[in-house]
Amino acid sequence: MTSKDLKRLQQQSRWLSTVAGLMFLGLAALVVLPLLAVIQRNDLTLDEVLGRGVWMQWLPTIPYLFAIVAIRRGFAVFARGGRVGIAMGVACRRAGWALAIGAGFSAFGVPMLARAGDAHSRTLMNFDPAYVAIGVVGLALVLLGGLLDRASSAEARVESLEHELQEFV
């Protein structure tokens, strides 16, 4: 890879970091603003809203937000000159676990909490194919992150061997 290609990738990574940051802000606003509107429109206190179980529906959003932050940080680290294998390996692992946890909580945690509470839902599990797909993609990202880590350490070892060879010759 030429230095021109590397600079172009870093520039694209900077742009993608900005896009991921905007996605985070947008999703966070989509979580907070409707909650505030419900509180204001119905003259409810935050304790009353939390007591009604509204928080259960939004709880899986937290790991998804963490996944967006993890990917944004990976792009930002690479854009600032970090090694792509290390930066994206960590980002893939963190985002992958966050997606898997969020999907698992969406499929199992929310229905179980709803069943334990006063909610209308009496289902034990919610087998939405989207949750299964997101969970599988999350686990695949964890594996990909591990592969990127291994490739990065192999690359570092090759570079050190090249350096030793040049000193020897």
Look at residue 121 in the predicted model and tell me its pLDDT. Answer: 56
| pLDDT for residue 117 is more than 80 | no
Secondary structure, 3-state, the chain: CCHHHHHHHHHHHHHHHHHHHHHHHHHHHHHHHHHHHHHHHCCCCHHHHHHCCHHHHHCCHHHHHHHHHHHHHHHHHHHCCCCHHHHHHHHHHHHHHHHHHHHHHHHHHHHHHHHHCCCCCCCCCCCCHHHHHHHHHHHHHHHHHHHHHHHHHHHHHHHHHHHHHHHHC
Give residue-wise pLDDT tens across range 152-165: 999 889 989 998 88
- Return the higher-pLDDT residue of 34 and 17: 17
Look at residue 45 in the predicted model and tell me its pLDDT. Answer: 73
Across residues 7-21, what is the average pLDDT? 94
Instruction: Read off the pLDDT band of 51 (50, 70, 90).
Output: low
38-66: buried (b, 16+ CB within 10 Å) or exposed (e) per residue? eeeeeeeeeeebeeebbebeeebbebbbb
> How far is the C-alpha of 108 from the C-alpha of 128, rounded, in Å?
10
- Return the higher-pLDDT residue of 46 and 3: 3
| pLDDT for residue 77 is more than 90 | yes
Share of the chain above pLDDT 70, in %: 89
Look at residue 62 in the predicted model and tell me its pLDDT. Answer: 92
Q: What is the pTM of this model?
A: 0.79
What number of CA atoms fall less than 13 Å from residue 166's CA on the CB side? 6
Look at residue 53 in the predicted model and tell me its pLDDT. Answer: 67
